[in-house]
Structure 1
Amino acid sequence: MRKAGSMVGAVCAAAVLAGGCGDDPEQVTVTETVTRTDTRQDAPTPKATTPSESTARPEFYAPDSPWNTPIANEAALDPRSARYIDRLQRMVDIDGTTVAIETFSIPIYRVGPDQARVRVELDRRAPALQRAFDAVPVPDDAKAADGTDRALLIYQESTDTIWEFWRFRRENGGLRAGWGGRMADVSKNPGYYRMRTEPEIEKPFWGFNATNLGGATGVMTIDELRRGRIDHVLALAIPEARKDVCAAPANGTDGATEEPDAIPEGARFRLDPDLDVDALDVPEMTKIMARAAQRYGVVVTNRGGAVAFWAEDPSQYDGDPYEDLLDGSSPAEVAQAFPFDRLQTLKLQTRAC
């Protein structure tokens, strides 16, 4: 789960991995990215399968965001669906699978209107994003997730704003980050970064996801797992993603696999609607995930060392909420029990990234 592709598209990916890119990514890629954003189409948002079914209001993004929209049973599948699922299953078998709950997870700090604001210094020159990070309501105890990505997300409901960071850390008495994004008007946002100037500047290559999808996209929160229901798409990282190709509304990739049947980041799967999830002999947490995947789908947001679902990091909670949620299973066992072989690939709108 790396940020290389999302920060500057294909332009600086190799340089970032090597330790930096000499040019300002905002200056290097803005023209190309605007063109892509103006011409791309959003991912399909089919009608709800059962509109009368009661659902909770998702915490993040607009109700009609593609990530919060149920998938119709008759939604079109991609012609390469079976081949993509075969590749995904091979990755599960070879690289393993897990639920990222601590390492490479997503800490979500929800702050009030009076939280003091501080500057988060970027590691490289990016004037617009630095302005977005000049006054961030970071709690004193905010801690990034373990792992090289060191992700951190801050949500302030009173201003309807999310700040997200990649490689966030405390250094020399201050705060620093390698990259990230600020998403204003979150409750009306589709859940991916766009070229905007109002209500605040937003650029389509911001964010800590390689796809430039919003950092909260597909993250299973602890409250949702406690409730036993997830009313949005699930996020997935995979070891082998297609190079230089992504699926809308993704606007970037860190994929490195050139085979034409490699899965593009931004691809959206859904669990076969005919599968009886309740009849599965799997952990309860797996069933919660499977129901969400059946109704809302699973979207590939990053490349990672294993096939990994994303969950909220528990570091800011008292005790370990996952002790009860996992109910004796390990994160790997919960993920291994997921019926990957019954996934289907929704029709993709692919493009060069």
Structure 2
Amino acid sequence: MKRFPRSVALALIATVTATVWVAGAEAGAASELRPAFVGGKLSSKFRRAESLPPNGGFENSLVGWAGYNATLSIVSPGASGAAARVVLEGAAEDFSIYPTARPVTSTAAGAVYDARASVRSLTPGLRICLRIREWAGDSVVGSAQACAMSTSEWQLLPAFGYSVVGGGHELDIYAYALSVGANDSFDVDEISLAVSAGRTPPPPPPPPPPAIGLTATAVDHAHIRLDWAAVSGAASYRVSRGALAVGTTTDTTFTDTLLWAQSSYAYRVEALSASGATLSAVSGSAATSVLPAGGFPRPFAANGVWNKPIGAAPLHPRSAALAAFFASHAINPNLTFYSYGVSVSETRPSDPLQSVPCIRFVNCTLGAFGSFRIPTTAQADPSSDGHLAIYDPVAGREWDMWQAWKSGDSWSAGAGAAVSMSGDGIAAANTASGNAANFPLLGGIVRPEELLQGRIDHALVFMMPQVSNLGRVCPATHSVGDTSHPDALKQGTRIQLDPGLNVDSLAIPAWQKTIGRALQVYGAYLRDSSSSLAIIGENPISRGYDAWALVGLGEPNAGLMRGFPWDRFRVLDAATNC
């Protein structure tokens, strides 16, 4: 089975505006609306609400339900009466059960829906989730989910609520699992999606009177430093950027990170007592500076594999055949934004210290430098890859996670690596890093600021269908492939857009021309296998704002690259890669 899952065509990629993880799952930025539990069961108020998906109790019937990458059957007894059994079909990396018709066909903006389900599985280590999605036409504009690790006994997934983004939309709900091996399965019962039975969030307490004393100062294009006077009786200070809490500290200084250049930000710092009560608050604002004249900062060694131009590097002896295979597999080409990208988070000294176990592959090296700090705003990419890169620019270290998962205040990962950013950041052979090639997750990804400045000063990374299973080439130290075709590219292969092509004359958007020029000067390395061809970009989910929208790419499908000259590539001799 492949260790590192696929990409998806960007036409199918969801724009996730509010992913909620609750009670043993990842905590997102959206508010949670939890029904009360009584003796381990949902309160009668919640249970009385009318469930919208038909036959969610699967009483001796699967009518109205279908399986994705799965076969379905009825088992008994379930949590209550019969239940549905969902069995992995083939070698897919996720499988699910879903209603054949969306249970909500016209929403009201702000309406709240509650969801619940009971699950069990004999497969150890299986992560089972229930998810709501909000659809505007063919695009997902919001979602929320709850997850739990499998047990052989029936368990009620943490109940959660979803607040609708817009009117006239549709909602669906489905239960899914991320597979860990062949013949995985889970049972599910009592799937319910219901209009909230009169629950409304309590009104927020009135803010304390603001006081003077917060100094906000721009450090550079991406950082603002906050300083304030100590408050008598304060045990800690909560820092918010707008409505987003970005951190808590016991110091009287805090630096906000990953901000947008030449942008104004408003801050509020609340002094908290030991019990969490707000004692006082101060407010202030500042604007970031312009991007550096030398360009957006790039990680890793200046003369290493990521930042060294191709120059006169020779072609592979069979470049034409390999390039033809590449072009023939340029299926649904795209730049990844909101799914199957890399979520990036910059750590600071006040962030919580974490010891992150790897639960899928024990040969990971996340603990190579010991425990490390993860910002409270950090979120994993919502795809099944769950990529998250944490980096410390002061220490020059990076922590890469595949299938990153937050449970309460703790994190775990399926695999990962801790690497130094002073070199190339590539994990050693025989270890399980954050992707199939063992590349650092920050290596080669496209950042929104690079499209803003109109140039990318490093090599890119990509993934594609039909990767060779006949080995790897430098700089890759690991490989996952699915074909023995002699022309298939191996992990680590470096491709280059024909340097003689006049990119500026092509009828493609300006951002694609920026990528095209980088592919001519620096090329791109094959990092992963996937179901579509994808240039890998940053997922801005950990920033707290949509950085892609700020360069005009905030719409679903904006990253499609079907007009790009994929037939004008060549393959470089791997002997010159490293």
Q: Is the Cα contact below 8 Å between 1:269 and 1:299 reproduced in 2?
A: yes
Root-mean-square deviation (CA), in Å?
Answer: 2.8
1:222 correspondence with 2:458: no
2-structure distance, mates of 1:328, 1:113: 32
Following superposition of structure 1 onto structure 2, how do residues 204-215 of structure 1 map, counting pairs within 5 Å? 205-215=431-441
> What's the TM-score, normalizing by structure 2?
0.48
Q: What amino acid is aligned across from residue 353 of structure 2 in structure 1?
A: R
1:193 correspondence with 2:427: yes
More helix by percentage: 1
User: Per the alignment, do residues 78 and 56 of structure 1 end up closer, same or farther by CA in structure 2, a change over 3 Å counting?
Assistant: same
2:320 to 82, 104, 107: 82
User: Per the alignment, do residues 154 and 65 of structure 1 end up closer, same or farther by CA in structure 2, a change over 3 Å counting?
Assistant: same
1:149 to 375, 385, 388: 385
Q: What amino acid is aligned across from residue 67 of structure 1 in structure 2?
A: W
Q: CA deviation at 1:298?
A: 1.1
Q: CA deviation at 1:295?
A: 0.5
1:277 is aligned to 503
2-structure distance, mates of 1:156, 1:173: 20
2:332 is aligned to 96
1-structure distance, mates of 2:367, 2:550: 41
Q: CA deviation at 1:316?
A: 2.6
- How many residue pairs match? The answer is 295
1-structure distance, mates of 2:425, 2:347: 20
2:301 to 62, 83, 94: 62
User: Per the alignment, do residues 171 and 318 of structure 1 end up closer, same or farther by CA in structure 2, a change over 3 Å counting?
Assistant: closer
User: Per the alignment, do residues 316 and 57 of structure 1 end up closer, same or farther by CA in structure 2, a change over 3 Å counting?
Assistant: closer
Query: Which string of whole-angstrom CA distances, capped at 9 and with x for unpartnered residues, describes residues 243-302 of structure 1?
Result: 031111211111110111111111101111111111111011100100100100011000
1:31 is aligned to none
Q: CA deviation at 1:172?
A: 5.3
Following superposition of structure 1 onto structure 2, how do residues 324-343 of structure 1 map, counting pairs within 5 Å? 324-326=550-552, 331=557, 334-343=560-569
Query: Which string of whole-angstrom CA distances, capped at 9 and with x for unpartnered residues, describes residues 299-326 of structure 1?
Result: 1000011000100111133442222424
Q: Is the Cα contact below 8 Å between 1:118 and 1:134 reproduced in 2?
A: no
1:262 to 478, 481, 488: 488
Q: What amino acid is aligned across from residue 89 of structure 1 in structure 2?
A: A
Structure 2, unaligned runs of 5 or more: 6-92, 94-124, 126-177, 183-292
2-structure distance, mates of 1:205, 1:308: 25
SS of the residue 1:155 aligns to: strand
Following superposition of structure 1 onto structure 2, how do residues 1-353 of structure 1 map, counting pairs within 5 Å? 3-4=3-4, 19=180, 56=295, 58-72=297-311, 74-92=312-330, 95-124=331-360, 126=362, 129=365, 131-132=367-368, 135-171=371-407, 173-184=409-420, 186=421, 188-194=422-428, 205-326=431-552, 331=557, 334-349=560-575
- Determine which structure has greater relative contact order: mean sequence separation of CA pairs < 8 Å that are 6+ residues apart, divided by chain length: 1
Structure 1, unaligned runs of 5 or more: 6-13, 22-53, 195-202
Q: What amino acid is aligned across from residue 258 of structure 1 in structure 2?
A: S
SS of the residue 2:443 aligns to: coil
1-structure distance, mates of 2:377, 2:554: 29
Q: CA deviation at 1:133?
A: 7.4
SS of the residue 2:564 aligns to: coil
Question: Percent identity among equivalent residues?
Answer: 27
SS of the residue 2:541 aligns to: coil
